Each structure stands twice: as C-alpha cells, then as structure tokens.
Amino acid sequence: MRAAIFQAKYQIDVKEVPDPVIQKNTDAIVKVVMACVCGSDLWYYRGIAEHQQGPIGHEFIGIIEEVGSEVALFAKGDFVISPFAFSDNTCPHCRVGFHTACVNGSFFGMGENNDGGQAEFVRVPFADGTLVKAEGSDFSDDMLASFLTLSDVMSTGYHAAVSANVKKGGNAVIVGDGAVGLSAVLSAKLLGAEQIIIISRHETRQRLAREWGATHIVEERGEAGVKVVRAITAAVGADAVMECVGTKESNEMAFAMARPGAVVGRVGVPHEVVINPNVTFFYNVGMRGGPAPARAYIPNLLGEVIKGKINPGKVFDFVTDLDNVSEAYAAMDERRAIKSLIKVS
Ligand SMILES: [Zn+2]
C-alpha cells in the first residue's frame, strides 16, 4: 500500500510499504477513505517537535476491511470514524471518559508499531474500544468531511468547550482561530453560549467563525485584547475561556480575561507556558483540558452531524489526494489553508 512517511523536517514522502495485517485478535484493518493533516503534524513538519522516521498522521475515516477473531462490534464493510488515539474503552480511565489516558492505548502515527492515518490502510488496535460506526453508506463528500473532523479537530474544539464549562446563555471566549479554535466556536454555540467572542485577525477565519456562531471578533492581542473582551463582557470577564493555541502569550491572555470562578479549557499543546499561580488563586480561576478524549465525544457529535445541526467539515479549505500529501502540509505551513483534507480512496 501507499503511506505518507515522515522523513525529515519539511520532507514527507509517499512510499510503498507492506499492507498492515491483524497482529492481535482485537485488531481491525481499516481501508482509509479520507485523512487530514493536524496542526500538531505541523510541529513535526517544521522540526519544532521530534517525530520518528516512519508513518505519520492520526485523523482518518474509512471502511472496515478485516477484523480479528475477538472483534464483536464491526464487520467488513462497516463505515467507521477513528479517534486520533486508540483505546480499550474498558480500563478505569476510559470508563470515566478519558480515553487518551487509556492504560492500553496510544496514538496513531507515533511510536514503534502504530500505523499512521495518512495511508491506504491502517491497523486499528482494540477496534471495539476505539472505532465508532456511522450507520449507512450513502454519504455525501460534505458529510464525510464532517465525519473526518470528529477524529480530532472538532472533538478537540468540543473538549475545550466542555473543559471550560461553557454554559447555556453565558459568554465564551476563544483564543486562537486555527481549525481547533474555529471548532471551539461551533462547540460553544452547540452548548448554548449566547455571546461568543473569538480572537482573530484573519478575514477568512473570521468569516467561518461568524457563520458558526461568533458574535464578536477581537483583532487586538495581549493586554489590548483583554481590555476589549472586558468591555464586551461589561467589565466582568469571560464566563468560559478556551485556549486553542498553546503559546505563552495565548495562555496569559486566556487567564487574564477569565472572570473570577471561570475555568480556562486548554487544548493547545503548551509550549513554554507559565501559569501565574497568583492569578488562578486570587481569582479562583480554574484550569482543565488536555488531549481530547475524542472517543468519548464522537457518538454524540456524529448524531449532531447526521441531523445537520453542525457542519464542522467546512473547516477544510484545501483538498488533495494521498500522492500529494506533501502539498497538503505545505498549504497549511504557508497558511494558504486552514486545514487540508486528503482523499485517499
Ligand atoms: Zn482504556
């Protein structure tokens, strides 16, 4: 089969590699229909974070090709959505909904023996605990694109909103207008926030944010941005803050605009972030978040997509095929695309 292989920074090649095979009775092999590039893949692409030479990618949807003898919930031909991490769905951490901390789990496209999602086929460990079936087969490309976002980006935006405790009728601020930040806007709307404020300077991203429910766009950053948010929230501060970037500056901004008692929901992987314990202590500001337990959210979000209530697939503004995967990375790296979709089969 063909698979995207991380070679070195700025070099991702499509190579002919052996087809994956069932290694354990709980495995399934998925024929990938669509995959995509994650913001976190860009950290590797740019050489900011380390990645082993080998398969890459962790967001994919597809059709079951083969199942191991102990897989009970899936059969050949089922259409499935895979979260970016695999999990047994039975350990103590899975049971409370934190599948990314599964004691038997790991992440696709990372580590010694884990297939990448940007490939024609993927071996999925713990298929019963990992995959979610989409009933039916006649899905439009737009519907499939929305399914694909549940693998990571939409589930991550939703995790920011859940972690920040977004409430019906309240206000919510999103720091970051990348694909995750935009998905957080859609999630805040879904959870019933009335005022949705996003920090954004990019016109195309602002447009999608407005379409998805943002009521205010704040172009200022740092202290100036905090001031504008305070003005919008009648000097009270934000009921819920979603941090979707991960830098020192974005975190400072997020904590500075939280009202007393609010929670900052963080999904941006922190890079050199320092949390000021005095701010969190004296204002009773909480902090939650981390890698999204996508597996816990997919069934509910899939229902909302199928009902037509949300259309997160609109975040994709660049489409290519597996042979041109390197162009999919370049488009995001050069900010020509918010998020790249790869049609595999
Ligand atoms: Zn588990």
**Among residues 218, 159, 169, 164, which one has the least CA distance to residue 189?**
169
Is residue 255 within 8 Å of residue 261, measured between CB atoms? no
Q: What is the mean pLDDT of residues 85-101?
A: 98
Whether 315 has a pLDDT exceeding 80, the answer reads: yes
Confidence of residue 113 (pLDDT cuts 50, 70, 90): confident
Which pLDDT does position 10 carry in this prediction? Answer: 97
Which pLDDT does position 137 carry in this prediction? Answer: 77
**146 and 118 assigned to the same domain:** yes
Rounded-to-integer distance, Cα 151 and Cα 293, Å: 10
Rounded-to-integer distance, Cα 21 and Cα 271, Å: 37
127 Cα: distance to centroid of ligand 1 (angstroms): 12
Domain boundary among 259, 289, 319: 289
**329 and 180 assigned to the same domain:** no
Residue 303 sits in a domain whose CATH number is 3.90.180.10
Which pLDDT does position 279 carry in this prediction? Answer: 87
Average pLDDT over all residues of the chain: 97
Q: Strand (E) positions, 17-58?
A: 28-36, 54-55
Residue 263 sits in a domain whose CATH number is 3.40.50.720
Q: Beta 258-266 vs 238-243: how paired, if at all?
A: parallel
Whether 92 has a pLDDT exceeding 90, the answer reads: yes
In the chain, the amino acid numbered 145 is A
102 Cα: distance to centroid of ligand 1 (angstroms): 3
**Which residues partner with 55 through β-bridges?**
5
Instruction: Fill in the DSSP letter of residue 119.
Output: B
94 Cα: distance to centroid of ligand 1 (angstroms): 4
Q: What is the mean pLDDT of residues 41-65?
A: 95
**147 and 6 assigned to the same domain:** yes
**168 and 38 assigned to the same domain:** no
17 Cα: distance to centroid of ligand 1 (angstroms): 30
**115 and 141 assigned to the same domain:** yes
Which pLDDT does position 111 carry in this prediction? Answer: 83
pLDDT tens digits for 271-283?
Answer: 899 999 998 999 9
309 Cα: distance to centroid of ligand 1 (angstroms): 30
Is residue 121 within 8 Å of residue 32, measured between CB atoms? yes
**194 and 144 assigned to the same domain:** no
Place of tokens 């830098």: 247
239 Cα: distance to centroid of ligand 1 (angstroms): 32
Q: Domain range holding 111?
A: 2-152+293-343
**100 and 242 assigned to the same domain:** no
Is residue 184 within 8 Å of residue 244, measured between CB atoms? yes
User: Bigger pLDDT: 1 or 268?
Assistant: 1
303 Cα: distance to centroid of ligand 1 (angstroms): 23
226 Cα: distance to centroid of ligand 1 (angstroms): 39
Domain boundary among 272, 289, 306: 289
pLDDT tens digits for 135-177?
Answer: 987 899 999 999 999 999 999 999 999 999 999 999 999 999 9
**189 and 272 assigned to the same domain:** yes
**122 and 169 assigned to the same domain:** no
Q: Tell me the two tokens of residue 148.
A: 């694909």
100 Cα: distance to centroid of ligand 1 (angstroms): 8
Confidence of residue 3 (pLDDT cuts 50, 70, 90): very high
Read off the pTM: 0.97
Which pLDDT does position 283 carry in this prediction? Answer: 95
107 Cα: distance to centroid of ligand 1 (angstroms): 13
pLDDT tens digits for 182-225?
Answer: 999 999 999 999 999 999 999 999 999 999 999 999 999 999 99
106 Cα: distance to centroid of ligand 1 (angstroms): 10
Rounded-to-integer distance, Cα 69 and Cα 27, Å: 9
113 Cα: distance to centroid of ligand 1 (angstroms): 18
186 Cα: distance to centroid of ligand 1 (angstroms): 28
98 Cα: distance to centroid of ligand 1 (angstroms): 8
95 Cα: distance to centroid of ligand 1 (angstroms): 7
318 Cα: distance to centroid of ligand 1 (angstroms): 34
> Is 244 strand, coil or helix?
coil
156 Cα: distance to centroid of ligand 1 (angstroms): 19
Rounded-to-integer distance, Cα 100 and Cα 79, Å: 22
For residues 77, 315, 244, 50, the Cα torsion angle rounded to the nearest 10 degrees is 60
Q: How many domains does the chain have?
A: 2
**36 and 86 assigned to the same domain:** yes
**169 and 274 assigned to the same domain:** yes
86 Cα: distance to centroid of ligand 1 (angstroms): 9
Rounded-to-integer distance, Cα 237 and Cα 156, Å: 24
